[in-house]
Amino acid sequence: MRDTTSLLPLIVRDLRLEREGRTLLDVPIARIQNRRRNVVLGPNGAGKTLFLKTCHGLVQPTSGSIEFTFPASAADIRRKQAMVFQKPVMLRRSVRANFTHALAMAGVGWWERWRIATETMAQFGLSALADTPARVLSGGEQQRLAIARAASLNPDLLFLDEPTSSLDPTASRQIEDMLDILHERGVTLVLTTHDLGLARRFADAIFFFHDGRLVEESDAETFFNGPKSAEAQAFLEHRLFW
């Protein structure tokens, strides 16, 4: 059962990330609201992945703050969020062992690890692959495993970097269905994508980046029907390339 307490909303204030004299991220303020489907858009090199990694704690900003609304220990913050990368990280072991290892690292006992792994594989259509080495799976299967493995840890907040990148339409639909299940379960989702069709179908909120700066944050309907910035308008019209 999901813990009903939540760290969210997550508030990002005056965030800057600088490297070798270049500003890679500039986010005056951003709010990741509880139980929403947040989509991060922008052209290549806009800072989308860096934004996810910084919010997740993998990249230390030069200045600014990333604060959860409800106070928590560093251990609770780590425990209640997860990230799935564009190229899934697969352990050199079976599909089932990918689950049980991740759960063991989270401090879950043996029989509970087995139960959660079995139930999660069944829920996301991975049971038939339980004994298959994870690294021989197809790209779509690896992405499904990566998302399901993260979901097995019962996070409040899940970051996903281009979860449908390079996948065929069937595999992309399977990933989208998984994300719908997680949303219904109460997980707050933050994902990057270049697929505007996915963004239109899926998003509750849009974060639009250009040249490292958060240019717009709005609800999805407002963004797609009437973006406020010239950069976002050009992006939606396929006229913004960098």
69-86 per-position pLDDT tens digit: 876 677 788 889 999 999
89-127 per-position pLDDT tens digit: 999 999 999 999 999 999 999 999 999 999 999 999 999
Note the residue count of the chain: 242
Structural domain boundaries in the chain = 10-82+161-236
Dihedral (Cα; 216, 80, 114, 181), 10-degree rounding? -30
CATH of domain 10-82+161-236: 3.40.50.300
29-62 per-position pLDDT tens digit: 999 999 999 999 999 999 999 999 999 999 999 9
Helix (H, G, I), strand (E, B) or coil at 79: helix
Whole-model pTM: value is 0.94
- Between the alpha carbon of residue 5 and those of residues 116, 187, 233, the distances in Å are 21, 12, 38
Helix (H, G, I), strand (E, B) or coil at 200: helix
**pLDDT computed for residue 74 by the predictor:** 75
Which strands form 213-219's sheet, in the order they lie side by side? 63-68, 10-19, 22-32, 213-219, 205-210, 37-41, 188-192, 157-161, 81-84
Q: Which of 163, 143, 147 is nearest to 39 (CA)?
A: 163
**Is the distance from CB of 117 to CB of 96 less than 8 angstroms?**
yes
